[in-house]
Amino acid sequence: MSTFFVLGVVRTKGSTRSFLNRRGRIQTVSDNDGLATWEKTVMWTARQAGVRAIEGPAEIGFTAFIPRPKSHYGRRGTLLPSAPIYPIEKNRNDIDKIERALLDGLTGVAWENDSQVVRVTKDKVYCHAGQPDPGVSITLGAAPAGSARPGRRRA
C-alpha cells in the first residue's frame, strides 16, 4: 500500500471540445485548461512517494479536499451557519471526473493501464481546519486475492 498527498486545486477530466485547426483537421482538447498540469503533478507526486507499478488488479482510495468559496464565510472570516457541509455545486468538481483525472495521472506510474483498477473508494469534502490545503489524499495498492465475485447464473 502507498499513501501520499497531492497538493493543489483538484482538476477534473470532463468534457472536451473539438474544432478545425489551421491545417483543416479536427482537433479535440480538454475544456479544463489546468488538466495536463494537474495530471503531471499527480504523476510526479506519486513517483516522489515511491509508488511502483502494480501488476494485476489494483485498488485506489482517495479523498479530494476542495477549497470553500469566499461566499461561505462572514465578515470576520468565520464559516456561515448556512454554508453547506459538502461540495455539491452543479457543474463543479464531479467526483467521477476527479477520479478519471487521477486514474489517468497515475497511468504509467501506479499501473500500466487504468483498466487494472477493480475497486475505487472516493470522498469529496471541503478543506477544513485539520486540512487547510486543497488537494487529494490517495491510497493505492494491489487488490486482495479472492476479491473477484463470480457472476450470477441465470436459469
Give the Cα separation of 123 and 118 in Å (integer).
17
**Does residue 151 belong to any structural domain of this protein?**
no
CATH number, domain with residue 122: 3.30.1330.70
Q: How many domains does the chain have?
A: 1
Give the Cα separation of 39 and 98 in Å (integer).
11
**Does residue 35 belong to any structural domain of this protein?**
yes
**Does residue 150 belong to any structural domain of this protein?**
no
**Does residue 147 belong to any structural domain of this protein?**
no
H or E, element range at 29: strand 26-30
**Does residue 149 belong to any structural domain of this protein?**
no
Give the Cα separation of 35 and 41 in Å (integer).
10
Do the Cβ atoms of 121 and 61 come closer than 8 Å? yes
pLDDT tens digits along 26-80:
887 776 778 889 999 999 999 999 999 999 999 999 999 999 888 888 888 888 9
**Does residue 97 belong to any structural domain of this protein?**
yes
- In the numeric block, the cell 472516493 is attached to 122
